[in-house]
Structure 1
């Protein structure tokens, strides 16, 4: 079995099931090296602004170890948050035939790339950055050159979608070194619960006070600036469509401002942060899921995958990384220009104008996301490994 080391910042609810899949179905001896223990112990999440510990198993089904982190302020929100001096030596003890990095812009990874990679096996990188918001100033050009030098240290790169592919090409990664390994969630966990969570969602909506005959527009996630929940609130207030409610699920720095702006308005509801086991029910409560993010920070938007698993139509801004891959206009949803509240309002009105069509869009969502799986992600990884093997021969 080919031994593959994987380096990740911390246990992530979207990645752990894939590592399990790799270890048990892909013919790989996988070992994951974690640089921080967020997610498996209670930690303050700066986005949600509260203590978070995921309630699904993140460390089962695959081999892993935590690399000691000596940072005075551990985390992924700043460059010095991951400082793991023993990373290179711990990887070498595993004797892998390849190393897959899922991150790079941290102190530990730069140290690995510049001082510890000479006697390591081929390095692979899987990222999801994009350039959907383009800048041509001198700072952007210098950044391009710097990142280009980083990517030259990788034998192959895995791209998760079209925008990410274009990002790698912009940084001069050769086409022959790029392999499609799409972003995916644990589709089975969502698909297997459809009937049960639909019943749970009806009861939950009743608890929240949402009228039974209302269509529900859902925003679920961190209530933070990059996700632009205030844009959605303003758009909803402007359309004034009868028998439609807006539900915000989550927490974050904009929560108070949102609630103040919604005070006294009809059919706007708030629910607190929902842990992973409650997310299928959360999506099932919606008739339409919206992600109006602005800027380069929404590199993919895995909530879209999850909502689509529950057969939900989606509206996203054109700055959401998955917009070119998962959202097909008038087939399973709509894409609108990021930051344009009037365009978002028009998209809401258009989507809700025909409820039968909206339901069909949801069915199409489920069919589309069926092609974004851990199996497909693994296929790209295997192709990359075979490519690096041939290059070494």
Structure 2
């Protein structure tokens, strides 16, 4: 490609550095048609901070700010925090957008932040393209309150149509926006992907025998893994109960994560008389996750609220087959029932136990599913995400 090719000037507004987004930003910074600038509204994650979901202080142990241009925009909120509408009030976004000639502003913060609306208004007044990125796959809220579902059905269509484009992370997300009457040509599927190359490389370096020795688990055993926050909407208790009900010999259950349900799960494992086969690893930082996935036989995500579930990507890239509930957003694109994993009705412990009884004794089948899972991930990558973004910009900007 010619050196004098026009580059699209892209401002990406993000709430805070995220381990999944940083690799994507690095690839975007290297793309010959993109000139990106990332504006962070907070640096939580790089700086140690209390994570209410994990219920512990979290500081990610991988580089989150290397390899791409970024700036921290001062947060003017009197009570700065994430997951609060007035927790991010980054007034500097206004001048950043108004004083620079960006072609497009892509907002990765949700509409439930005040800063989202600052960026949206500045982009519209500056007559540059405004793009809203979302990983949602349904309008049902986590607390299942009916009035919120009704409110979202009324409020979301004009919010989504306010953007020139909406980037969605999954096929289910695209279908949801279509049901909300967002024009199909304004919906761009940008696969929710992790750094595939990093995960597969790290997985190849793992000594499974050594890891299992650290867990005090036999190398020949079958290991089930739950890796997420121990919170009610993740339903980790369903795995515990299904594991006890299945009662497959020489099998173990691992919980990697922290959260409000940890003590309850420990007590229930005692009452179910499976305490000796259930292990709690606590919070596991990013650099240690590949060894966890690679050394497990099966990964389960039983959530009843999971817009996507990027942990499914991670497990599959490490050669670990998956079982997910039918509320997990990534199920449609990533989980091929009976091939790369299984899908079961959320909350149906007996159905989950039956799956475990059928597949846990068959080590060859588990390995075959793990291989199929890794191969499937080749078509769901950050490169595909960027290709979709550039194609959308070509269509909307270059054509004019």
TM over 0.5: yes
Q: Which of 194, 198, 211 in structure 2 is aligned with 1:204?
A: 211
Checking the alignment, whether the CA contact within 8 Å between 2:239 and 2:349 is kept in structure 1 is yes
What residue is the counterpart of 1:285 in the other structure? 295
SS of the residue corresponding to residue 251 of structure 1 reads: coil
Query: What value does the CA root-mean-square deviation take over the aligned residues?
Result: 1.8
1:55 aligns with 2:64: no
1:129 aligns with 2:136: yes
What residue is the counterpart of 1:152 in the other structure? 161
What residue is the counterpart of 1:118 in the other structure? 125
Tell me the CA shift for residue 75 of structure 1.
2.6
Question: Aligned residue pairs: how many?
Answer: 388
1:366 aligns with 2:390: no
1:15-39, CA deviations, whole angstroms, 9 ceiling, x for partnerless residues? 0110000001343110001111111
1:328-350, CA deviations, whole angstroms, 9 ceiling, x for partnerless residues? 10011100111111121122222
Checking the alignment, whether the CA contact within 8 Å between 2:340 and 2:370 is kept in structure 1 is yes
What residue is the counterpart of 1:308 in the other structure? 316
SS of the residue corresponding to residue 47 of structure 1 reads: coil
Q: Which of 205, 210, 230 in structure 2 is aligned with 1:223?
A: 230
Tell me the CA shift for residue 125 of structure 1.
1.7
Q: Which of 16, 39, 43 in structure 1 is aligned with 2:45?
A: 39
What residue is the counterpart of 2:16 in the other structure? 10
What residue is the counterpart of 2:283 in the other structure? 273
SS of the residue corresponding to residue 228 of structure 2 reads: strand
Tell me the CA shift for residue 137 of structure 1.
5.2
Distance 1:133 1:343, change over 3 A: farther
Q: What is the rounded CA distance, in whole Å, between the counterparts of 1:116 and 1:27 in structure 2?
A: 21
1:243 aligns with 2:250: yes
Q: TM-score, normalised by structure 2?
A: 0.92
Q: TM-score, normalised by structure 1?
A: 0.94
SS of the residue corresponding to residue 359 of structure 2 reads: helix
Checking the alignment, whether the CA contact within 8 Å between 1:133 and 1:319 is kept in structure 2 is no
1:253 aligns with 2:263: no
Q: Which of 184, 192, 206 in structure 2 is aligned with 1:183?
A: 192
Q: What is the rounded CA distance, in whole Å, between the counterparts of 1:258 and 1:136 in structure 2?
A: 26
Tell me the CA shift for residue 139 of structure 1.
4.6
Distance 1:159 1:186, change over 3 A: same
Q: Which of 165, 169, 177 in structure 1 is aligned with 2:174?
A: 165
Q: Which of 68, 73, 77 in structure 2 is aligned with 1:67?
A: 73
1:42-92, CA deviations, whole angstroms, 9 ceiling, x for partnerless residues? 100111111111111111111111111122332322222211112121123
Gaps of 5+ in 2: 1-6
Gaps of 5+ in 1: none
Q: What is the rounded CA distance, in whole Å, between the counterparts of 2:353 and 2:87 in structure 1?
A: 39
Tell me the CA shift for residue 117 of structure 1.
2.8
Q: What is the rounded CA distance, in whole Å, between the counterparts of 1:11 and 1:347 in structure 2?
A: 37
SS of the residue corresponding to residue 330 of structure 2 reads: helix
